[in-house]
Structure 1
Amino acid sequence: MASATSTIFVASVLGVLLYNARLASATPSPSVSDTLFRTSNVTGGPVDEIKCYALPYGAIGIFSHLLTFWTIAWMSVGKTPLWPFFEMKTYKFDMFLACAALCTCIPIASITMHRCRLSWHFLLICIWKLVTSVSLACITLHRCWIIRKEGNPSHGRKDTELQRLGGYQAAQTYESYNNGMYAHNDSRSDLPSPAAQFRNNPYGSSPSAQNNSRSGIFSRDELTNNNSKPRDTAPLWWLVLYLSGTIVGMVGLCSLLWTTFRKDATIRHLTYGFGAVLAIIPILVAIFWYVHHLEMSEQGKRGFLLAVWQTLSGSFVAFVAVFGVFSSLYSDLVLGSIANNLFGMPSDDFAPLYWAWFIAKRVPLLSL
């Protein structure tokens, strides 16, 4: 689902860009929106064009992105972002938070995109930031759906669990009584009644006895023990959508820097550092896997192919992860350098939009 959504998104963006390519330099006709939302002069280069950009950048943007990555990381594995020692157990409140973030970020991003409509570089960067917020909200909603699904298992799933614990056949009914245990409701006369079972063993059967008997009594802890169940990391697939938006945004950022790269030493140094990180970390990962396979006793063609596969795949995954994380941080530093505002404090004309966006993106951090 996530991969299909990201594919449709990228195709739509490219289609819109190709359709409007010849109109990119045309002067728009005056409209009511030009009066409501002032558009900066796009002929003055990046320094003037960035005045339309009303989203966080600079040091504040970096802090915002780090909090976003923190939230995504813990949300993907079902932990509460504010206190990762606890599992996420609620879904209604978390769904409300995700929807509130979406309903706030989408209008703010739309206004910013309208302000920057004469500069396609910043338009793509705005799309990038919007996709990041949408990806975070989708991960939150997906996790809520998983929590809801696990909290309301189907009847067949209960039968499977009971069958695993006590050796029962499925399609039986179970009734609870006062001692908190579960009894098998069967019409067979050779089975003792629940009251007789309770008198014989008021604390329930031991795990080993339950596995070898057909009494049908299970402790509530055993029925709800899911510690051995593998964690569902399906929400991570929404990162495909995030990476798609990152590619679109980096296209706009690189085109923005095309004319200023040689003139601005700060941007050159930031770009060199970004490129070094993109190269060094995947190389280190490749070296790790290569050395790891050298120490293994398995040799021959199969061992060689396995070493090549894990070395290449590990370095590729590392490159994608580094690109996804450091691209956002790099863009914040570059935009801060262009605006001569590395801290990223907004001007008075769009400060409400700026801080509203910053707060709205923090809302999923409160998920329980």
Structure 2
Amino acid sequence: MAPTGFQQPSLPLSLLLIAALASQPARAFDVGEWLRNPPYHNGGTIKEQIQCYALPYGAIGFASHVLTYLTVFCLSTGRNPLMPWAHLAHRRFNLIIATIGFLVSFPLTVLTMVRCRNSWSFILIAVWKLVLSVTLTSMTIHAARMIVDFHPHDAADAQALLDTLDDEGKPLREQLQYRKQFRDIWWWAFFYFLGAVVGFVGVMNIVGKNIGSNHQLQIVTGVFGGVIGFIVMVVATLTWLAFSWSDESKVAGAELETGAAPQDKQTGVVGKAGWSFLAAIGVGIFILTIMFAFYTDWALAALAEDLVGHPSSENAVFYWTYFAAKRIPMLSF
């Protein structure tokens, strides 16, 4: 029996939807008319083009991505995203809400792609967001399928097993195995990486055309580039030092045993540089993939000259409904 706990979600889905939709009034309009009439013609300026993009960006988009990453992290440990101290326990319910979230976010993203049909860069960004929705849904379903449903009267026994320690004060083997299996959802991150590559092409095309004339965009790009560059430099330095310390240990050990340093066993300058470069590249790609979502949020905000990322009245319903749909996996419990 897979150990688990029983907790009711503390934030009903209806409250999430109400809070999101009530945050900004939206007037009624015809969806067909909305799709047929993008907010610009003959290319348009970047501020006009971004009005076709009905998905979160800016501070609101940043918050959305933070919540998405936190949700994935909690699911990968088998925990309730809203109450991390509680363990996932309801397989069927979590499968249902994952499906609902996808059925809402998927068509909204497609509609955004249709409305942005005159700007291929925004289409690519929307494709990336579509892949993100698919990835989040897949992770939520994957985590849910690892759960064995328990009735309320079984919850106490299940939670007691989770809290039980062996004679050495370590969690039981069953408990450890149960938690480790949720880490398999990270395999879906490769799918997200492929989508991020597509989005990167679109974002960089927009940035390349506008960075010379947009001071805020220059600042955002400089900050994120500096952070990623700093992390890459730190990783490269630590890798170099790790190999240096390893070589020193080998030399010291050999001198104690034979009195001679084993030069042939040392990594060498070229080897250290090579491993440091590979480590820096690997970590750089990983960090770039994670932070790319954040960079996109702030870059689009700089282009729209709206750091908060308020949607237009025409986009508000789609904007906030998408935001709420992306939060539905947080109701997993």
Deviations 1:292-313 (A, max 9, x none): 3333423555562896776455
Pairwise CA distance, 1:50: 0.8
- The amino acid of 1:289's aligned partner reads T
Pairwise CA distance, 1:246: 0.9
Deviations 1:9-52 (A, max 9, x none): xxxxxxxxxxxxxxxxxxxxxxx956754212242221111111
Work out whether residues 336 and 343 of structure 1, in 8 Å CA contact, stay in contact via their aligned partners in 2.
Answer: yes
- The amino acid of 2:236's aligned partner reads A
Q: Which runs of 5+ in 2 are unaligned?
A: 1-30, 151-165, 167-171, 252-261
Q: Which moved more, 1:124-133 or 1:139-148?
A: 139-148
Percent identity of the aligned residues? 31
- Specify the alignment match of 1:337 in structure 2: 302
**Residues 285 and 261 of structure 1: is their aligned pair in 2 closer, same or farther, counting only changes over 3 Å?**
same
- Specify the alignment match of 1:226 in structure 2: 174
1:62-211 equivalences in 2 (<5 Å) = 62-148=62-148
Work out whether residues 54 and 351 of structure 1, in 8 Å CA contact, stay in contact via their aligned partners in 2.
Answer: yes
- Specify the alignment match of 1:355 in structure 2: 320
1:252 pairs with 2:202: yes
Where relative contact order (Cα < 8 A, 6+ residues apart) is larger, the structure is 2
- The amino acid of 1:113's aligned partner reads M
- Specify the alignment match of 1:304 in structure 2: 267
**Residues 35 and 235 of structure 1: is their aligned pair in 2 closer, same or farther, counting only changes over 3 Å?**
closer
**In 2: Cα distance, 1:79 partner to 1:302 partner:** 46
- Specify the alignment match of 1:26 in structure 2: none
Work out whether residues 46 and 338 of structure 1, in 8 Å CA contact, stay in contact via their aligned partners in 2.
Answer: yes
- The amino acid of 1:130's aligned partner reads L
Work out whether residues 58 and 343 of structure 1, in 8 Å CA contact, stay in contact via their aligned partners in 2.
Answer: yes
**In 1: Cα distance, 2:266 partner to 2:139 partner:** 38
- The amino acid of 2:294's aligned partner reads L
Larger proportion of helix: 2
- Specify the alignment match of 1:239 in structure 2: 189
Q: Which runs of 5+ in 1 are unaligned?
A: 1-31, 152-206, 208-223
**In 2: Cα distance, 1:274 partner to 1:122 partner:** 21
- TM-score, normalisation: structure 2: 0.73
Deviations 1:268-299 (A, max 9, x none): 12112222222211221222233233334235
SS across alignment from 2:73: helix
**In 2: Cα distance, 1:101 partner to 1:255 partner:** 30
**Residues 35 and 268 of structure 1: is their aligned pair in 2 closer, same or farther, counting only changes over 3 Å?**
closer
- TM-score, normalisation: structure 1: 0.66
Larger radius of gyration: 1
Q: Which moved more, 1:272-281 or 1:305-314?
A: 305-314
**In 1: Cα distance, 2:300 partner to 2:120 partner:** 15
1:282 pairs with 2:232: yes
SS across alignment from 1:83: coil
**In 2: Cα distance, 1:87 partner to 1:312 partner:** 40
**Residues 57 and 143 of structure 1: is their aligned pair in 2 closer, same or farther, counting only changes over 3 Å?**
same
Deviations 1:77-127 (A, max 9, x none): 322222222332321111111101100001110111111011101101111
Work out whether residues 138 and 238 of structure 1, in 8 Å CA contact, stay in contact via their aligned partners in 2.
Answer: yes
- Specify the alignment match of 2:221 in structure 1: 271
**Residues 36 and 263 of structure 1: is their aligned pair in 2 closer, same or farther, counting only changes over 3 Å?**
closer
Q: Which moved more, 1:101-110 or 1:339-348?
A: 339-348
SS across alignment from 1:226: helix
**Residues 311 and 80 of structure 1: is their aligned pair in 2 closer, same or farther, counting only changes over 3 Å?**
farther
How many residue pairs get matched? Answer: 267
Q: Of residues 290, 294, 301 in structure 1, which corresponds to 2:244?
A: 294
**Residues 291 and 83 of structure 1: is their aligned pair in 2 closer, same or farther, counting only changes over 3 Å?**
farther
**Residues 147 and 304 of structure 1: is their aligned pair in 2 closer, same or farther, counting only changes over 3 Å?**
farther
- Specify the alignment match of 2:23 in structure 1: none
Work out whether residues 277 and 322 of structure 1, in 8 Å CA contact, stay in contact via their aligned partners in 2.
Answer: no
**In 2: Cα distance, 1:302 partner to 1:133 partner:** 49
Work out whether residues 34 and 314 of structure 2, in 8 Å CA contact, stay in contact via their aligned partners in 1.
Answer: no
**In 2: Cα distance, 1:48 partner to 1:331 partner:** 17
- Specify the alignment match of 1:56 in structure 2: 56
- The amino acid of 2:331's aligned partner reads L
**Residues 309 and 99 of structure 1: is their aligned pair in 2 closer, same or farther, counting only changes over 3 Å?**
farther
- The amino acid of 2:220's aligned partner reads L
